[in-house]
Amino acid sequence: MRRRSFAALAATAVGAPAVGGVLAGCAPSPRPGSRAAGATLTVATTTDVVNFNPLVGNSRTDYWITDLMYPRLLTIDEAGNKQPWLAVRYGYHDPKTGYYRIRDDVRWSDGKPVTAADVAFTINAIKRDKPAGNTTFGQLTNVARASAASATEVLLHLSKPDQTVLREVGFWMNVVPAHVFGKVSNVATFANTGDWVGCGPYTLVSAAKGQAYTLERTEPYPWAPGGKPSLARVVFRVYPDINTEILALRSGEVDLIANTLPPAQVDVLRHTTGITVRKVPGLGYAHLAYNMKHKPLDKLAVRQALAHAVDYAAIRRVVLQGQAVSTHSSPIAPVLTAYADPSMTEYRHDPAHARRLLRQAGYHADARGRFGLSLRMIYSLQDAVTAQWASMVASDAAKAGITITLQGMDRNTYLAKTDAGDYDIYAGNFAIMDDPVTNMALTYLPGGAINYSKVDDPALSKLITDAQVATPDEQRELVAKAAHLVRDNVYDNVVYMQNFYVAHRTEWTGFVAKPSELLTVVDPASLARVRTRS
């Protein structure tokens, strides 16, 4: 995980260095069904595509496939540093006007140029239609509108200064073609089920639910070596679970598993002939969010009792096999040393203290030591690691006299219940938390897109909103204070930060690891250059 440096964003005309040279565009794409020479990489995944629209957040398979088709303004390197991609430069003309300057040599797969108008359209459409699960929407809070100053310059007109918006929107938002998505009245309900027009290394040509999704090479592709993606096609095959994926990898049925490995399988596969295991740095964390709109989770003593009931070290040792670290109950990962406060301490596993807190709050245990607190905790069954530690949390809570009913469910149901706030406790993980100020705004401001605890604390909100317009030094101080409020009030209960591992057949090479379990080696920059060793 990269240490954030806000120095580069403090000035009003700061940006990434321009990309030199003129590169060819990426149009037209191969004709669907064509068979260009080259290899096919078969990738295993455990979920079907729910939505082919990259503006709507759904399953990870949605993300992996649409990210291969729709470009981002910025990318991220293995150390977590934002790097140019479609945008070659960005900064601020004045405190309330940001800009991106984009490449002039890129085309959609139907031959039309990718322009600033496409970027402005995407931003304005997200603000107008508020697609469900769209992370960028929450990052556009201080953006009034976007406009195209020219074919290559996009302007972001801000309602108030915001020193985080350009880097975060640039990294998170997929740009879509205005001449395709602009034909629908509401992009949030656009299914995008066929006649795909993209601008990635590969374009989707067929989809068979429950079976496979096939993408074919788009060439020329300016970001690939020589302007040509290395693979003729990429096929995502759907398997019911990670264990079946591993069997398919061992047999050679698939070449790569997109999902990160369960910790217990890492060493096993490291010693398996024909399989290579790669480490992927973590940029997110696993956590428990207590829904403060549901009684009695609105009481601090109850949340603190729940926090003291969990044996965090055992979860990291047993479930994560030592492949995770403590964040000291802070939402700021320790590797973000510019922001992390070393004085913070993790909630101590102490069931007896949890019971004392409940008694002090007026609860009385029955003859069996139970306090009559019964809570529902949701988690995704597709997330095997979370499913394991969710059981440990429930068992730990029982020792403190608290009953937690586990509700594991398929990922789509889990996402729907999350959106509806239909849970007492949410167990899950964030794939990437790369910017403390932005992430806190999304997670802890009222109405934040991922405010799963439903927290609404005016003091915390002021710290976060002040940080959004503060100088770099002021931001660090404000973030540290906000992290203490989150920790002390259990507005979020961070369990661990995990590093990840992926596996592929050894005959393949050229993978580029991007941080987080969302990007891994399935990122366009990686799959545009993967090849066989022979």
Locate 435 and state its tokens.
């910017």
Fold of 282-498: Dipeptide-binding Protein; domain 3 (3.10.105)
Look at strands 324-325 and 493-498 and give their pairing.
Answer: antiparallel
Given the structure tokens 């909630």, which residue do they identify? 347
pLDDT for 293 equals 97
**285: three-class secondary structure by DSSP:** strand
Domain limits, the chain: 37-69+200-274+506-533, 70-182, 282-498
- 245 neighbors 254 (Cβ within 8 angstroms): yes
Among 63, 52, 317, which Cα is nearest to 191's? 52
CA angle 187/190/191 to nearest 5° reads: 150
Does the domain at residues 37-69+200-274+506-533 carry the CATH identifier 1.10.10.350? no
The residues near 10 (Cβ < 8 Å, ≥ 6 apart) are 163, 471, 472
Residue 37 has a pLDDT of 54
Q: Which pLDDT score is estimated for 16?
A: 30
Which neighbouring-strand residues pair with 428? Answer: 287
Show Cβ contacts of residue 45 under 8 Å, excluding neighbours closer than 6 positions.
60, 61, 64, 236, 237, 238, 239, 245, 258, 259
Predicted confidence at residue 202, as pLDDT, reads: 96
281-293 mean pLDDT: 92
What pLDDT sits at residue 79? Answer: 62
Of 242 and 78, more confident? 242
Decide if pLDDT at 248 tops 90.
yes
CATH class assigned to 70-182: alpha beta
pLDDT digits (tens, 9 = 90+) for 22-70: 222 333 333 333 334 579 999 999 999 989 999 997 678 999 999 999 9
- Beta-carbon count within 10 A of 272 CB: 16
Q: Are 102 and 122 in contact (CB under 8 A)?
A: no
First to last CA, the chain: 34
The pLDDT of residue 1 is above 60: no
235-244 b/e (C-beta count within 10 Å ≥ 16 → b)? bbbbbeebee
User: Nearest Cα to 370, choosing from 381, 359, 360?
Assistant: 359
Q: Which of 8, 412, 30, 465 is nearest to 229 (CA)?
A: 30
Q: What is the pLDDT of residues 422-457, one digit of tens each?
A: 999 999 988 777 788 888 998 999 988 899 999 999
Going by C-beta distance under 8 Å and a sequence separation of 6 or more, which residues neighbour residue 342?
328
Q: Tell me: the pLDDT tens digits for 117-126?
A: 999 999 999 9
Q: How far is CA 343 from CA 283, 295, 340, in A?
A: 22, 31, 9
The token duo for 101 is 């300057």
Can you read off the two tokens belonging to residue 135? 């992370």
Can you tell me the distance from the alpha carbon of 301 to that of 285, in angstroms, rounded to the nearest whole number? 24
Token code pair at residue 510: 């050229």
> Percentage of the chain with pLDDT > 90?
72
pLDDT tens digits, one per residue of 346-378: 999 999 999 999 999 999 999 999 999 999 999
- What values do phi and psi take at 223, rounded to 5? -90, -5
Q: How many helices (H) and strands (E) does the chain have?
A: 17, 21
What are the pLDDT digits (tens) for 187-245? 999 999 999 999 999 999 999 999 999 999 998 899 999 999 999 999 999 999 999 99
